[in-house]
């Protein structure tokens, strides 16, 4: 499971648990924001680690490429001195270094892909955190107004006041649940704007490849 999926699953579980047990909506909303901030810090840490690993792999690749070039130089020197055995040994070392460089290059490319995915996850979480903060501020203000209205209604001793307050609290909790679940669901959205444009580009490439294939079959 990717880091974004783990974070999203944990956030959703926290929301469901908080909504179910919440007696103080304002306190619950503040806790939601705090949880998202903690998850964001974890993702930032993982991004930094992934980038550092990528740089290390690229450095190792460059070192082995340099060593391979050096052994090639030594092989040329041995050939110039008619030392074929030394030249073979040097070429063997050069080949080994080149293979190691290729291996580190492959790992560096994989690590770069992972780092890019983590960067994208970080951008999504940062955006959702900003949106969730705004939602929470709005809902907290709504909850406080509802409390003031509730106290005023109690003072009036209007028949049916208790039922009105109950409906108001239920409505507030529904708003909290709908807004926060919507925020958690959007975090899980796998398709970004970049993904949509990439899909369009792939469609054009596939059509071009199909035309070329048909053209070659027709020529044959």
Render pLDDT for 68-80 as a digit per residue (tens, 0 to 9).
Answer: 999 998 899 998 8
Could you state, in order of their start, the residue ranges of all structural domains in the chain? 3-189, 194-220
Residue in this structure with the two tokens 């209205």, named with its chain if needed: 149
Percent of the chain topping pLDDT 90: 21
Render pLDDT for 109-129 as a digit per residue (tens, 0 to 9).
Answer: 999 998 888 888 788 778 777
Q: How confident is the model at residue 211 (pLDDT cuts 50, 70, 90)?
A: confident
Query: What does the DSSP 8-state code read for residue 42?
Result: H
Render pLDDT for 157-189 as a digit per residue (tens, 0 to 9).
Answer: 554 555 566 656 666 665 666 555 555 555 445
Nearest-10 Cα torsion for 142, 41, 125, 113: 180
DSSP string, 113-172: HHHHHHHHHHHHHHHHHHHHHHHHHHHHHHHHHHHHHHHHHHHHT-TTHHHHHHHHHHHH
- In angstroms, the CA 219 to CA 71 distance is 48
* Threshold 0.85, pTM exceeds: no
pLDDT of the residue at 159: 45
Q: How many Cα atoms occupy the beta-carbon half-sphere of 6 within 13 Å?
A: 10
């Amino acid at each position: 499971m990717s880091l974004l999926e783990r974070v999203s699953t944990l956030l959703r579980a926290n929301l469901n648990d908080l909504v179910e047990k919440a007696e103080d909506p304002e306190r619950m909303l503040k806790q939601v924001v705090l949880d998202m901030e903690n998850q964001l810090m974890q993702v930032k840490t993982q991004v930094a680690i992934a980038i550092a690993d990528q740089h290390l792999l690229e450095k190792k690749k460059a070192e082995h490429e340099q060593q391979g070039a050096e052994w090639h130089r030594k092989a040329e020197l041995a050939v110039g001195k008619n030392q074929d055995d030394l030249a073979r040994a040097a070429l063997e070392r050069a080949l080994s270094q080149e293979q190691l460089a290729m291996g580190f290059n492959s790992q560096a490319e994989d690590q770069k892909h992972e780092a890019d995915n983590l960067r994208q996850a970080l951008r999504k979480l940062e955006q959702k955190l900003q949106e969730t903060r705004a939602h929470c501020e709005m809902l907290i203000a709504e909850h406080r107004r509802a409390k003031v209205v509730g106290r005023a209604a109690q003072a009036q001793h209007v028949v049916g006041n208790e039922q009105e307050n109950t409906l108001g609290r239920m409505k507030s909790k529904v708003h909290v649940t709908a807004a926060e679940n919507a925020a958690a669901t959007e975090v899980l959205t796998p398709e970004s704007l970049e993904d949509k444009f990439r899909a369009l580009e792939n469609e054009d490439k596939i059509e071009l490849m199909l035309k070329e294939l048909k053209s070659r079959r027709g020529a044959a």
